[in-house]
Structure 1
Amino acid sequence: MIPAQLRRKAEEFVDSGAFFAELAAMVAYPTESTRPEGGVAVKAYLDEILTPALVGLGCSVRTYDNPDPRGGPFLVGRRVESPALPTLLCYGHADVVDGQAGRWSEGRDPWTLTADTTADGERWYGRGAADNKGQHLVNLAALRLLLAEQGRLGFNLTFLFETGEEIGSPGLAEFAAAHRAELRADVLIASDGPRVDAATPTLFLGARGGVQLALDVNLRPDSYHSGNWGGILRNPATTLAGAITTLVDGQGRIRVPELLPPEIPDAVRQSLTGITVAASPGDPTPDEDWGDLTLTAAERLYAWNTLEVLSLGAADVDRPVNAIPGRARAVLQLRYVAGTDVSRAGEILTEHLVRHGYPMVEATVVGHFPAARTPLDDPWVTWAKSALEQVSPGPVTVLPNIGGSLPHAVFTDTLALPALWLPHSYPGCLQHAPDEHLLAATAREGLTLATTLFHTLGNPTPTHPLPGRPQLGRVPLPRRARRL
């Protein structure tokens, strides 16, 4: 059990305003990886914020160039207390999405952290407050509190920061593969993404993947009068709309069997029993008639695939003229769970469209990020859940994965690690929109949870031993890690 004085210090760090002040300094750096000029702020953030934070934890720190020219640098901090101790790998990303200045409510500046009290508690507004600066600050602060309290962590620490997560983590997998020895660990514990809802402490074990698909119906270079040519010239917009309905119907159900996952595993289905989605204040109400209604809402979100139309257009939709357009385009995204084979997604769509009478629709894969999942029965999952429930106000929800995306596969597939995510945000935090915010109450509870988890890692007991390790003495790394 975490010492009472350490828990009080975690709570006081938030209650005193120290957490807010530190987060405000982080948010002030416009580390937009979506803009070339954001690279200057990214470098300053690494040099002026993260490097001193890691040095303060007794880490040796090194910055690495990205092997992919599209991505920014990587920062790695390492603290080795003893080769006999377990090694924890932590992760965070320094970059944020576009600040969208001028679109925030009440004249808020995205680079100035501001507090506001609403019906659901105090909110801290600022770009990166939830994604991901506030979340990696929770973990840095928890490690700092633990080190100050006991003069040691009780484990070895490697902290990896990337600077391009918001643009798809270019180069991260290649970097991890080239630095396996430096990143070797027993477990990854990181924080990103949302809890299942604002009030429920959550562990999630993976992320859905995504395949970005472009559909293009390019029939002719010119537009022709709809009265003089309507009925004898194929309309690309009508054609595209019809083609899309053969892929996903008007109720959001995928109509291409090859794009569906295998049957939901029993362990995944059981883990989602009783979970309510969209349970936080301000969340939209799920549409009861949308998606595969043989599945629960939680199963549709966390255990199934969806095909979403992200954009759709022809001609000028705001200023239409009486003409048949020559071209129509759409971008779709397949969100898919681990176990789905997407290696032929482009070919599958093309073959399906031809079979349904749409050979004139060109389907192209324009982007992809993989799905991955740590097994629900991994011993580290049971260990972490039990540790968190020492201080959690109620049961900790364990999700097989979130509905969104993270570079989870880099840790499970490239580094062969069990990877656990302890999020400190919630689905309604608006992390990619104006008015992104972190809930003060979640930050306070999250710091207590993270401090407890790290304390338990560094102080194993006979009743709460570490997975795969005896109480004392050096032992080989788990089999998965030895393969590195």
Structure 2
Amino acid sequence: MKEAVIAHLRENRDQYVEELKDFLKLPSISADSAHHEDVRETAVWLKAALTSAGMDKVEVIETDKHPLVYAEWLRAGEEAETILIYGHYDVQPVDPLDLWETPPFEPSIRDGKLYARGASDDKGQTLMHIKAVQAMLEVEGKLPFNVKFLIEGEEEIGSPSLDAFVESEKEKLAADVLIISDTPMLSAGRPAICTGLRGIAALQIDVRGTKGDLHSGLYGGAVQNALHALVQLLASFRDEQGRIQVAGFYDGIEALPEAEKDSLAALGSGDEEMKEETGVRELFGEAGYTSRERTWTRPTLELNGVYGGFQGEGVKTVIPATAHAKLTCRLVPGQDPTDIFEKIEAHIAAHTPPGVTITTERHDSGKPFAAPVTDRAFQAAAQAYADVYNTEVAYTRMGGSIPVVETFDAALGVPIVLMGFGLPSENFHAPNEHFHLDNFDKGLETIVAFWAHYAQKG
């Protein structure tokens, strides 16, 4: 089966790329209410794509915000195993727009890379699974397993509707293995299976001083400046070496298993690659750890935005009444986002400068995840990568977060295989996001190879 299906994939490759372009033209920005209808239109587009692929049942399921798309093909029978495939169709905002070389929702191919918002995260990788299943059905007329798809439109805003859905629909989502392609490979030509994800805790900080902006000459030196107060507070979060100063922040962090330590060490520090990717002359972070260790296995507290006061051209001599900051923490096994929220809020209360009041608002949260790799699904994925990329797969963790993974783990209790096809350098969440079409092609073949190896139970 595998060879015939791969031949079919190659014959239809250009058509698949055109369909991906159509998918990418839809501005499904879940965080922006102005794009609410665009997100819905994208869900409808996916329903049509899954129906065309041969799914027997396809639904657009309403939530309190953006819809889910569910599909199933269960004709392999009750005795057959079931593969559940998860992805997301929503994308990040595109700002700053002026840094895009081509418009973010007008897909453009340059140097073998497809540029558009969502190309790598996660529309390209999600569509690959749909097309792989479609090719298997078109060539064979059947699948060796039952298959279910669950594709959401809220991943980029923390999946607020998905936890409740997964908890309430365990029977609907019941499967023997869950496959997710929303993670990067180690590097070009070096595939990776991700065995762990950092969790997340996102917070808005709002500082209020005077009842309104004041003239800095008339009131300067007599009242607190909200921006100065905010800067003082923010400086208290980390020391000069980058170690987080929030009391209890590192409590309970689980040590890496020795086998994983050895595997991580074998991959090297990644420091030079990190410098090249980011364009910096020196790295910065928690002392005693390599860049891979810092981004995969250590927690963080990062400022994502700081704003307030006059920001126009020239000078305006005011004392700002308000100032604001957005921060996110990436969390590792042993940390809980609710506990981290409470500790940060206690730190803020203890370090609030005089003359201001500070309020906070909790946003995205998600627990960290780490998976054992003993199930045969991981071995099938490793062999599939080796077949197509002609190299041994690396087992890695990822610094980013997919909050629903931990939810799936707790609710469904099945092996979760994170087999991604993006590259760390593909600018997801940044201007000029792109997807290497070489990995689109090889990824399709790897997915088919995975199905073939997973079918070999012996």
Q: Normalising by the residue count of structure 1, what TM-score does the alignment of the two structures yield?
A: 0.83
CA displacement 1:112-171 (0-9 Å, x = unmatched):
322112xxxx11122322222211121112222233344332111111121222222221
Q: How many residue pairs are counted as aligned between the two chains?
A: 451
Matched, 1:308 2:305: no
Task: Determine the structure 2 residue equivalent to 1:369.
Answer: 365
Within-5 A mapping of 1:207-218 = 207-218=197-208
Alpha-carbon distance in 1 for matches of 2:224, 2:298: 36
Q: 2:398 and 2:359 mapped to 1: Cα distance?
A: 29
My pick for the range that moved more, 152-161 or 355-364, is: 355-364
Q: In the alignment, what sits opposite 1:154?
A: 144
Q: Aligned pair 1:291/2:285, yes or no?
A: yes
Any idea what the Cα deviations from partners look like across 1:344-389, whole Å, max 9, x if unmatched?
3343234334545747562524213212324234424344323432
Are 1:144 and 2:134 counterparts? Answer: yes
Alpha-carbon distance between aligned partners in 1 of 2:372 and 2:349, rounded to the nearest angstrom = 40
Q: Aligned partners of 2:271, 2:129: CA distance in 1, in Å?
A: 26
Give 2:365's aligned amino acid.
F
- The Cα offsets for residues 61-85 of structure 1, whole Å up to 9 and x where unpaired, read as 223221xx22324333333311111
User: What is the deviation of 1:58?
Assistant: 4.0
Counterpart CA distance in 1 for 2:353 and 2:372 is 42
Distance 1:237 1:281 in 2: 32
Change (3 A) 1:337 1:81: same
> Does the aligned pair in 2 maintain the 1:305–1:337 contact within 8 Å?
yes
RMSD: 2.9
Structure 1 residue 430 corresponds to structure 2 residue 427: yes
Contact 2:50-2:58 within 8 A present in 1 as well: no
Q: Which range moved further: 437-446 or 427-436?
A: 427-436
Is structure 2 residue 183 aligned with structure 1 residue 193?
A: yes
Secondary structure in 1 matching 2:414: coil
Deviation per CA, 1:193-243: give whole Å up to 9, x if none: 322333321211343222122333322114445455544433332222222
Could you tell me which runs of 5 or more consecutive residues in structure 2 were left unpaired when the two chains were aligned.
none
Q: Which of 68, 81, 87 is matched with 1:92 structurally?
A: 87
Deviation at 1:309, TM superposition (A): 1.0
**What residue in structure 2 maps to residue 440 of structure 1?**
437
SS in 1 for 2:48: helix
Cα separation, 2, equivalents of 1:50 and 1:131: 19
TM-score (norm 2): 0.88
Corresponding position of 2:57: 60
Identity of aligned residues (%): 25
Provide the secondary structure at the position in 2 that maps to 1:400: strand
Instruction: Say which is worse superposed, 211-220 or 134-143, in terms of deviation.
Output: 211-220
Query: Could you tell me whether the CA contact under 8 Å between 1:33 and 1:163 is conserved in 2?
Result: yes
Counterparts of 1:113 and 1:90 in 2: how far apart (Å)?
25
> Structure 2: how far apart are the matches of 1:454 and 1:41?
33
1:115 to 69, 88, 109: 109
Equivalent positions of 1:272-421 (< 5 A) are: 272-273=264-265, 274-275=267-268, 276=270, 279=273, 283-285=277-279, 288-318=282-312, 319-356=314-351, 358=353, 360=356, 362=358, 364-379=360-375, 380-421=377-418
Within 2, Cα distance between the matches of 1:240 and 1:277? 32
Asked if the contact 2:237/2:246 (under 8 Å) is kept, the reply is yes
**SS of the counterpart of 1:428?**
coil
Q: Which runs of 5+ in 1 are unaligned?
A: 463-484
